[in-house]
């Protein structure tokens, strides 16, 4: 069984266009895996599917008993794409303090692999429909995500707090408590110049942390305050 050249090229071109659209969206977000990566993953998945289905179509031989024939399973190579793509996805995930970036990009790589498999198998309807749903989801939900998450999700902030000799950690903790924030963890380092603390703070979804940070910076005895985790956690 063979595939005409025109059909082969069509499947690869469809893969390039569909996966390129998703890759372009990721490129616009300045992600580690962008346009070229998504195209290559999709084309690789499509070719693996084509090779699995058509590359060994003539491999048929006699079985161990007379009259018994055997042939290879045409899905044997394509089935490994699902597990193999996980290694690429893991490379796109980056942990930065409390924030984990790259999960959406890893999922996008997984999606383009599926799109490439569908296009490679000639299942154009599934490939186009998946792209038509995934691409608007990436664009639209990114815009409404900040509004929704600010009302639903608890935030986490990592604070580096340096106190002078006359500074009081108890007062700083009391201020955060009055603002409605919760201390999840605390570590300290004491030197001749004063004390340094690292606070892990849980911020309720209905609270803004910036006012507490300003008050904390203005307290007597506070030499320096630095907070990580206030920015949008986009992926």
* 169 & 116 share domain: no
Which of 107, 127, 151 is the last residue in one of the domains? 151
* 102 & 170 share domain: no
Q: Which pLDDT belongs to residue 99?
A: 61
Q: Which of 9, 13, 17 is nearest to 132 (CA)?
A: 17
Number of Cβ within a 10 Å radius of residue 117: 26
Task: Report how far residue 95's alpha carbon sits from residue 100's, in angstroms, rounded to the nearest whole number.
Answer: 4
129: confidence class by pLDDT, cuts 50, 70, 90? very high
User: In the structure encoding, which two tokens stand for residue 18, read together?
Assistant: 């569909």
Q: What is the mean pLDDT of residues 166-183?
A: 86
Task: Specify if 235 maps to a domain.
Answer: no
* 13 & 110 share domain: yes
Q: Which pLDDT belongs to residue 72?
A: 62
Which of 103, 123, 151 is the last residue in one of the domains? 151
* 63 & 174 share domain: no
Residue 163's DSSP bridge partners are 195, 222
* 127 & 12 share domain: yes
Q: Residue by residue, what is the 3-state secondary structure of the chain?
A: CCCCHHHHHHHHHHHHHHHHHHHHHHHHCCCCCCHHHHHHHHHHHHHHHHHHHHHCCCCEEECCCCCCEEECCCCCCCHHHHHHHHHHHHHCCEEECCEEECHHHHHHHHHHHHHHHHHHCCCHHHHHHHHHHHHHHHHHHHHHHHHHHHHHCCEEEEEEEEECCCCCHHHHHHHHHHCCCEEEEEEEEEECCEEEEEEEEEECCCCCCHHHHHHHHCCCCEEEEEEECCCCCCC
Which of 151, 174, 198 is the last residue in one of the domains? 151
59 or 84, higher pLDDT: 84
Q: Which pLDDT belongs to residue 70?
A: 56
Q: What is the mean pLDDT of residues 123-136?
A: 95
Q: Which domain holds residue 183?
A: 155-228
pLDDT(120) > 70:
yes
Total domains present in the chain: 2
* 143 & 160 share domain: no
Task: Report how far residue 199's alpha carbon sits from residue 180's, in angstroms, rounded to the nearest whole number.
Answer: 15
8: confidence class by pLDDT, cuts 50, 70, 90? very high
pLDDT(89) > 80:
no
- Give me the chain's average pLDDT, please: 81
pLDDT(150) > 70:
no
Task: Report how far residue 141's alpha carbon sits from residue 150's, in angstroms, rounded to the nearest whole number.
Answer: 14
* 189 & 115 share domain: no
Q: Which of 179, 132, 159 is nearest to 228 (CA)?
A: 159
* 213 & 164 share domain: yes
212: confidence class by pLDDT, cuts 50, 70, 90? confident
Q: In this predicted model, what pLDDT tens digit does every residue of 13-62 receive, in sequence order?
A: 999 999 999 999 989 888 878 899 999 999 999 999 998 888 776 655 54
pTM of the model: 0.61
pLDDT(6) > 70:
yes
Q: Which pLDDT belongs to residue 130?
A: 96
* 61 & 140 share domain: yes
Number of Cβ within a 10 Å radius of residue 187: 9
62 or 190, higher pLDDT: 190
State the CATH number of the domain containing residue 164. Answer: 3.30.70.60
145 or 186, higher pLDDT: 186
């Amino acid at each position: 069984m063979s595939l005409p050249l025109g059909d082969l090229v069509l499947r690869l071109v469809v893969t390039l266009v569909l996966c390129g659209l998703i890759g372009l969206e990721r490129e616009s977000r300045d992600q580690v895996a962008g346009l070229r990566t998504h195209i290559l993953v999709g084309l690789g998945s499509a070719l693996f599917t084509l090779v699995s289905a058509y590359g060994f179509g003539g491999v048929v031989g006699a079985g161990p008993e007379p009259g018994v024939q055997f042939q290879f399973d045409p899905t044997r190579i394509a089935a490994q794409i699902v597990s193999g793509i996980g290694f690429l996805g893991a490379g796109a995930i980056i942990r930065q303090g409390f924030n984990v970036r790259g999960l959406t990009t890893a999922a996008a790589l997984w999606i383009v692999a599926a799109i490439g498999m569908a296009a490679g198998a000639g299942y154009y309807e599934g490939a186009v429909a998946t792209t038509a749903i995934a691409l608007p989801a990436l664009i639209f939900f990114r815009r409404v995500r900040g509004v929704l998450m600010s009302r639903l999700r608890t935030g986490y902030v990592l604070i580096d707090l340096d106190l002078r000799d006359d500074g009081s950690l108890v007062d700083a903790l009391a201020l955060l408590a009055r603002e409605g924030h919760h201390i999840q963890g605390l570590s300290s380092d004491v030197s001749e110049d004063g004390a340094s603390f690292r606070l892990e703070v849980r911020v309720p979804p209905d609270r803004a942390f910036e006012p507490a940070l300003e008050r904390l910076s203005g307290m007597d005895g506070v030499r320096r305050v630095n907070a990580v985790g206030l920015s949008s956690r986009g992926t």
